[in-house]
């Protein structure tokens, strides 16, 4: 019986020199961006999460945005905009 070699097509980036960003102790008074990533179901989930953040009244503002392509990273201009206006970003995955 011959061996079968299985290949994993998913790439795993290595960022050995990158330290994780410290988490925020609270979202109270912060601007939170919710970014839909185009996976099935992520848009409605992020919209609902935005509504819940706004109803709770803890965050200063909740912003919804969507990256243009499922298979590509968010464009530089979108990332720059998010960085400039947000204290925290939540990205969504779907099914």
Give me the pLDDT at residue 14, please. Answer: 62
Q: Is residue 63 part of a domain?
A: yes
Q: What is the pLDDT of residues 4-36, one digit of tens each?
A: 777 666 666 666 666 777 889 999 999 999 999
Q: Is residue 69 part of a domain?
A: yes
Please give the distance of CA 2 from its chain centroid, rounded to a whole number. Answer: 43
Angle CA(9)–CA(13)–CA(15) in degrees, nearest 5?
Answer: 165
Taking 3-state DSSP, the helix, strand and coil percentages for the chain, each rounded to the nearest 5, stand at 25, 20, 55
Q: Is residue 16 part of a domain?
A: no
Q: Is residue 23 part of a domain?
A: no
**pLDDT (mean) for 57-74:** 92
Q: Is residue 55 part of a domain?
A: yes
Q: What is the pLDDT of residues 69-89, one digit of tens each?
A: 888 889 999 999 999 999 999
Q: Is residue 19 part of a domain?
A: no
Cβ contacts of 62 within 8 Å, gap of 6 or more = 31, 32, 33, 34, 49, 50, 53, 54
Higher-pLDDT residue of 45, 13: 45
Kindly tell me if the per-residue pLDDT of 52 is higher than 90.
Answer: yes
Q: Is residue 24 part of a domain?
A: no
Q: Tell me how many domains the chain contains.
A: 1
Domain of residue 73 covers 31-92
Q: Is residue 60 part of a domain?
A: yes
Q: Give the phi and the psi of residue 90 in degrees, each rounded to 5.
A: -120, 120
């Amino acid at each position: 019986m011959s061996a079968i070699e299985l290949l994993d097509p998913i790439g795993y980036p290595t960022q050995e020199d990158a330290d994780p960003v410290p988490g925020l102790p609270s979202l109270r008074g912060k601007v939170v961006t919710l970014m839909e990533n185009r996976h099935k179901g992520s848009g409605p989930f992020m919209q609902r999460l935005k509504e819940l953040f706004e109803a709770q009244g803890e965050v200063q503002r909740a912003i919804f945005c969507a990256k243009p392509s499922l298979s590509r990273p968010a464009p530089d201009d979108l990332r720059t905009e998010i960085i400039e206006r947000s204290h925290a970003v939540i990205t969504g995955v779907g099914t």
